[in-house]
Amino acid sequence: MKLIILLVLSLLLLSCNEENSRLESTNLQSKIDSYLQAHIKNNKFNGSILIAKADTILFNKSYAYANKEYRILNSDSTKYLIGSITKPFTAAAILNLEKDGKIDLNDKLSKYFPDFPKSDSVTIYQLLTHTSGITDYHYFSDWKADSKRDLTPYYTMDRVKEMPYIFNPGEKFSYTNTGYILLGLIIEKITNQTFSKYIKSSILDKLNLNNSGVIDNYSIINNLANGYNTTYKESHKADYINYYQPFSSGNMYSTVQDLWNFSQAIFANKLFNKEKTDELLNNNKGQYGYGWGIRDFDGIKAYGHWGGMNGYIGAVTYIPGSNYYIIFLTNDDNTPKAKITSDIVKILYDKEIEMPKEVKLVDLSKYDFGKFEGRYLIKEGDTLNVFTENDKYYLQETGQMKNELFPISKNEFVFQLLEFNVIFDKIENQKATELKFSHNPNFKAIRIK
């Protein structure tokens, strides 16, 4: 009799635990969906997201349109360009060549590019960890114009050769796409294959990542979402880009499912042994491993990578302490990737978040905006230029792209792409004398013109 009672109690307890788990899962899904819906109201999320704990999917949903013109919805099989999330694949390919004895991370760049300046001082390790000091091609003021021309990666390298190093190799960290383009070209030299073919044979085929690959200027990719550029006022197809410009620093496509599978293969030591995986993740003094950024969310350690391409945004995050994976890809380049990732981490850890507020624009005349126009000093040689062009308002930092400003009050503006607001303050003689950013209360730029 006692045995029967114990059995019944055990079954009741198991049933209660399962019900509690179901309710917790439903509550979590509701929180995440409500949060993303708030971003959708502001045209800030248009894509697919997958959140998992170890091998269990907690949330998997797609929103809005892969093709707005024909109203084709995004789905879990939709492919997106992943931009710089290509870098973990490129790094994995280099480590695979190292495992096969075909390259050493201490090899000098001169072994493969003897005519590259200071190539005797640059190592493969430094290229992997962004510590080479080689200039990022994004520093070129005309890199956007070049992205519309059908130029090869070697053209980009020839231009970079003419630029001075930004610091001595190995001295410190500075993110540079150029280093990962060089790694892709080195892969081609070693294997006598295209970067695309080697990525496919050494990684994608091995892991059955059948919805991922390298894109070029001529291929037609089935189920690839159109990329869009959306502001608070309009949405249109993103500009053409020559995929050979970013090359192995950012020319792949994938799905959220494939990126989850790839991430699991890395972090579960399926591609490399534990010793190499630990090395991959914990190099470069805690800033960037071999293709993976090292992150901290209020004391929660994580690894991941952001991605951006004309009309596309992506993010991959892995939290080893709880075995969480957060992966989202969008086909609109105004997605606030850092903010969304940070807030979802908080939701997963049952922390409070501030729900995105619906953005409501206000009318602001050219006359009223005139009090903000001018130049504001950040530091010597670096200014913020605020100006009007074709009846639109812009802010542009020295050497960077211009960003359109959208007024939400008489002195505060939101951006299309940047994840903070700009505030003009201290009006004197009908001119603002200070410019501030909402995310950094200690920052201010002083009017100089």
User: Could you read off the pLDDT of 173-211 as tens digits, one per residue?
Assistant: 999 999 999 999 999 999 999 999 999 999 999 999 999
> What is the spatial distance between Cα 259 and Cα 316, in angstroms, rounded to a whole number?
8
> What is the spatial distance between Cα 198 and Cα 347, in angstroms, rounded to a whole number?
39
Residue 14 is predicted with a pLDDT of 53
Residue 17 is predicted with a pLDDT of 47
Residue 13 is predicted with a pLDDT of 56
Phi, psi (5° rounding) for residue 225?
A: -65, 145
Dihedral in degrees, nearest 10, Cα atoms 90, 95, 97, 99: -160
Residue 157 is predicted with a pLDDT of 96
Please check the confidence at residue 98 and state whether its pLDDT lies above 70.
Answer: yes
Q: Poorest-confidence range of 12-21, 69-78, 174-183, 204-213? A: 12-21
Please check the confidence at residue 10 and state whether its pLDDT lies above 60.
Answer: no
Burial of residue 231 (CB within 10 Å: 0-12, 13-18, 19+) is middle
Please check the confidence at residue 24 and state whether its pLDDT lies above 90.
Answer: no
Nearest to 335 by CA among 81, 77, 59, 75: 81
Dihedral in degrees, nearest 10, Cα atoms 135, 240, 197, 259: 80
More confident residue, 124 or 147: 124
Residue 108 is predicted with a pLDDT of 98
Residue 441 is predicted with a pLDDT of 79
Residue 20 is predicted with a pLDDT of 44
Mean pLDDT over 147-151 rounds to 90
Please check the confidence at residue 302 and state whether its pLDDT lies above 90.
Answer: yes
Please check the confidence at residue 8 and state whether its pLDDT lies above 80.
Answer: no
User: Could you read off the pLDDT of 309-335 as tens digits, one per residue?
Assistant: 999 999 999 999 999 999 999 999 999
Residue 284 is predicted with a pLDDT of 67
pLDDT band at 22 (very low <50, low <70, confident <90, very high): very low
pLDDT band at 4 (very low <50, low <70, confident <90, very high): low
Highest mean pLDDT, choosing among 8-17, 216-225, 391-400: 216-225
Select 366-447's CATH number: 3.30.420, 2.60.120, 2.40.128, 1.20.1080: 2.40.128
Residues 6+ apart with CB under 8 A from 168: 121, 133
**Average pLDDT of every residue of the chain:** 92
Contact of 153 with 177, CB cutoff 8 Å: no
pLDDT band at 285 (very low <50, low <70, confident <90, very high): low
Residue 83 is predicted with a pLDDT of 97
Residue 124 is predicted with a pLDDT of 98
Please check the confidence at residue 1 and state whether its pLDDT lies above 80.
Answer: no
Mean pLDDT over 85-111 rounds to 98
Give the sheet arrangement for strand 252-254, strand by strand. 80-81, 252-254, 213-214
Domain locations in the chain? Answer: 80-348, 366-447
- State the fold for domain 80-348: Beta-lactamase (3.40.710)
pLDDT band at 158 (very low <50, low <70, confident <90, very high): very high
Q: What's the pTM value of the predicted model, to 2 decimals? A: 0.90
Mean pLDDT over 103-111 rounds to 98
